[in-house]
Amino acid sequence: MKRIDDLLGLRVFERVVTLGSLTAAAQELGISLAAASKRLTKLEQYLDVQLIHRSTRRLSVSDEGQTLYDYAQRIVAELAQAEEAILQKSEQLSGSLTITSPNSFGRRHLVKLIAEFKRRHPDISIQLLLSDSIEDMIAEGIDVAIRYGELPDSRLVARRLLNNERILCASPDYLARYGTPKALEELHQHQCIIISRHTEINWAFPSHTLHIQQAISSNDGEAAHVMALQGMGIVLKSYWDVAEDLMAGKLIQVLPEQAVISAPINIITLKNQRQPARIRLFIDFLLSSLQPMHMHKEKT
């Protein structure tokens, strides 16, 4: 009876199926593409079955491969847990952590939280990538992504971080000069600041969609925020982004009874059962740190 004793080969196989790419598996395991391919071939030859069908465009798992994968996931996960248990016992929480986030959220909240997390765990190396575009987490080696809504990728998992309520707001100076709109239709009579590369956009409300044409536009959310503070118009922003200015009276919510359709802010990670302890710890830290801000909004 054959017994699988090629642990690296089993890990390569499990990573290839999970990530859907031999290249991505090799990068994550820290070995060359040639070495990963050789390990996979060696495992297939030992079992005398084809586990993965390869083509120039895609990989597909055979029936035998799917059977092995179901077991391999559990084996690799348990080995990872054993490794982490040993590390935790020796209190050596280390390694690298790469995080990506939208620009505004990263600057306003994430930088402060990362600084605190780093103080608690000085041996963890952290890289923060701020971008409003969606990055390929596997290709860029990203461990945790903060993004609006779920990403259309079966290799990723989304977990809600904040509800991300969006509101209309303007400065007291602007409202004193131009008045406060009492209905959505009145927004057409006001200067509206939109976050877009274009000079028109749709603002979606549960009742209907409002097409904003005569607007001030910027492709940067932070710049639009500053424009509102400067009294240039009414802006549509996430509550977490303007909360401090609302409490300080620098901005005033407009049409507070109007709900705005928006996607939640999610933590995006790879669909990976053997997630390192440092990633799980960072996610738990984010959830617990941002909960007070969420609770404040719920009570207001």
Give 197: exposed, middle or buried? Use CB within 10 Å, 0-12, 13-18, 19+: exposed
Pick the closest to residue 268 from 165, 148, 129 (CA basis).
Answer: 148
pLDDT of residue 298: 44
- Measured in Å, how far apart are the chain's first and last C-alpha atoms? 67
Centroid of chain to Cα 256: 28
Dihedrals φ, ψ of 292, to 5°? Answer: -60, -40
pLDDT in tens, 130-186: 987 777 787 788 999 998 876 666 677 888 888 888 899 999 999 999 999 999 999
Mean pLDDT of 115-141: 87
Using pLDDT thresholds of 50, 70 and 90, give the confidence band for residue 89.
low
pLDDT in tens, 235-284: 999 888 898 999 999 999 999 998 887 778 899 988 765 678 888 889 99
d(Cα 275, Cα 81) in Å, to the nearest integer?
9
With beta carbons less than 8 A apart as the criterion, state whether 48 and 165 touch: no
Task: Answer yes or no: is pLDDT of 86 > 80.
Answer: no
Q: How many other C-beta atoms lie within 10 A of the C-beta of residue 22?
A: 18
Mean pLDDT of 9-35: 88
Task: Answer yes or no: is pLDDT of 87 > 70.
Answer: no
pLDDT averaged over the chain?
85
pTM as predicted? 0.60
| Structural domains of the chain sorted by starting position, each given as residue range(s) with its CATH number in brackets | 7-89 (1.10.10.10), 95-162+264-299 (3.40.190.10), 166-254 (3.40.190.10)
Q: How many other C-beta atoms lie within 10 A of the C-beta of residue 91?
A: 7
Pick the closest to residue 75 from 12, 169, 10, 141 (CA basis).
Answer: 10
pLDDT in tens, 212-229: 886 798 988 889 999 999
Helix segments in the chain, DSSP class H = 7-19, 22-29, 33-47, 63-89, 103-105, 111-120, 137-140, 172-178, 221-229, 239-248, 277-299
pLDDT of residue 4: 75
Mean pLDDT of 41-66: 86
Pick the closest to residue 174 from 242, 233, 256 (CA basis).
Answer: 233
Task: Answer yes or no: is pLDDT of 300 > 50.
Answer: no
pLDDT of residue 152: 63
Dihedrals φ, ψ of 186, to 5°? Answer: -70, -15
pLDDT of residue 178: 95
d(Cα 75, Cα 83) in Å, to the nearest integer?
12
Task: Answer yes or no: is pLDDT of 65 > 80.
Answer: yes
